[in-house]
Amino acid sequence: MKRKCNLKAGDRVRLIEMGDDPDPIPAGTTGTVAGVYPQHDWLQLDVDWDNGRSLMLSIPPDRVERHSGGSSKSNSSSQGN
């Protein structure tokens, strides 16, 4: 069954946690979703980070939350819940 995702290209996100990556993006970094690619039981999320990097996330284990302006709203489907 494919993972349900409420994120779409153009959405703003904040990284909560990145799994085992040799050069991880720091938690708290914000970025813009460039693409969403649902897989069988996980989600691939392409993000253009505000620090200039562009890196795909694998959800789970990586976790993000929707971010807009000064407040954020958790997106439980992107947190693996």
64-73 tens-digit pLDDT: 999 886 433 3
**CB distance 51 to 42 below 8 Å:** no
Asked whether residue 20 carries a pLDDT value surpassing 90, the answer given is no
Number of structural domains found in the chain: 1
Quote the domain boundaries for residue 18.
12-79
How confident is the model at residue 68, as a pLDDT?
83
The residue ranking higher by pLDDT, 12 or 68, is 12
Asked if residue 7 is part of any domain, the answer here is no
Question: What pLDDT sits at residue 4?
Answer: 61
Assigned token pair, 29:
């970094």
**Is 65 a member of any domain?**
yes
- 43 found inside a domain: yes
The answer as to whether 20 is a domain residue is yes
E strands of the chain, at which residues?
Answer: 12-17, 30-38, 43-49, 54-59, 63-68, 71-73
Asked whether residue 4 is domain-assigned, the answer is no
44 in a structural domain: yes
Give every CB contact of residue 9 below 8 A, 6+ residues apart in sequence. Answer: 33, 34, 35, 36
The answer to whether residue 61 is domain-embedded is yes
Look at residue 26 and tell me whether its pLDDT is greater than 90.
yes
